[in-house]
Amino acid sequence: MPKRENHPLTNREDSPHYFSSGSESTIERFECKYTVSQLIAWAEITEAKYNDPGRKNKGQEEKDIRKALSYKRYKEMLQELVKRSPTATEMTPKRVYEILNIKWNY
């Protein structure tokens, strides 16, 4: 059985809202509902939001930097899935993880 890595977006300190509804995180639900290509676009837009100098919240700069890096890592991870399996773009990440035998700690 492959070692479970920590999922790039499941940081309870920076994003507690992803864990507010029961045992399954919002990210897990997104990865069952949206395609890899849709989530790449979402991650890219969200990364840009946290990197936008006009958006910076006073006292939140370090947290925004960490969040931007998390979304960048997630986007890069999804892009790596596409490199490994080009048909992954139109599948949900959950399905691609099953095919490639990838297990995450959420």
53: in domain: yes
pLDDT band at residue 4 under the 50/70/90 scheme: low
pLDDT tens, 38-78?
Answer: 999 999 999 999 888 777 666 778 888 888 999 999 999 99
Number of domains in the chain: 1
Residue 86 exposed, middle or buried by CB count within 10 Å (0-12, 13-18, 19+): exposed
The string of DSSP codes covering 27-77 is: HHHHHHHS-HHHHHHHHHHHHHHHH-TTTPPTT-HHHHHHHHHHHHHHHHH
pLDDT score of 72: 95
Q: Give the residue numbers spanning the domain of 100.
A: 24-105
**Statement: residue 79 has pLDDT above 70:** yes
69: in domain: yes
15: in domain: no
2: in domain: no
**Statement: residue 10 has pLDDT above 80:** no
pLDDT score of 52: 86
1: in domain: no
Q: Which residue has the higher pLDDT, 90 or 24?
A: 90
